[in-house]
Copies of this chain bind each other. A is one copy, B any other.
């Protein structure tokens, strides 16, 4: 009998990205730390948007980008996250469904508008983000679809959700549902500032509920408050079954008990915009994992998906990633 399970269900903030090109002087003047994500309120979002150059709107959200990546890889995915019933919410809903991802979370009919993330891309391809969480933070345990979670091989959560108290509860409930159904739980740490805000509860969460951890070098060092990636590597062992640690152009390291895999970054002819690199690495890795691939191949698929994401403006894939993977991983 064929396995009709979903591969991945992602739970995260439902956000529309507002992307614009800018320079370091603008980031400095606006007090935005380059390469990171700052949370902003509605008033600051208005003010910052008014100062922003001409922009492009694209559906985003970290876990939602990952699910769009899973779909572009040919995987079966679902997303859970909250929009408002406004025009930006309609755009988010359309885009995630149009990628082939199941999305059934009802829109909020009152309260804050759909979340948006102002993304400033500098000439060096780095992205600096200011996020107004809006309706996203209204996601709560009642929005979970226990059947969907039980049906998915992996439940994937973005660390950013930890900034919203109700969503935090929703995630803990989702992790319980997943484990009760014998499924895996994965977490992305999302951002060094996010780790700073939630260090203790993240360590507790990872130890108690997370099977697969995604983090980049800055995030994993911040989590364990160590100076070097090498020290972080030693610390992470024993905290979770699998850790996939990304290091930008230096590639990634995947740890699982005594198993260690070093994965080279996939070459890119031109890095245009690093928005979505981590999200798409997770997409590739999780897709491979759901298909029962070995950890090295999971990392390789992640690297190929991340390379596609950074070669264009915006976070979501512009290509059929399954064909790319066939070309670059299956053949390799």
Taking beta carbons and an 8 Å cutoff, which residues of A are in contact with B? 21, 49-50, 52-59, 68, 86-88, 91, 94-95, 98-99, 113, 314, 316, 318
Contacts and interface: CB of A to CB of B under 8 A. Distances in A.
Given A56-B314, A87-B88, 5 more contacts: A52-B98, A53-B98, A54-B94, A56-B58, A57-B58
Nearest to A116: B87
Nearest to A113: B87
* Copies of chain A in the complex: 2
A323 to B, nearest CB: 15
A308 to B, nearest CB: 14
Which of A57, A86, A94, A314 is the most central at the interface, judged by chain B CB atoms within 10 Å of its CB? A57
A278 to B, nearest CB: 20
A51 to B, nearest CB: 9
A98 B56 contact: no
B87 A55 contact: no
A35 B87 CA distance: 27
Which of A56, A86, A91, A95 is the most central at the interface, judged by chain B CB atoms within 10 Å of its CB? A56
A242 to B, nearest CB: 30
A213 to B, nearest CB: 29
A74 to B, nearest CB: 16
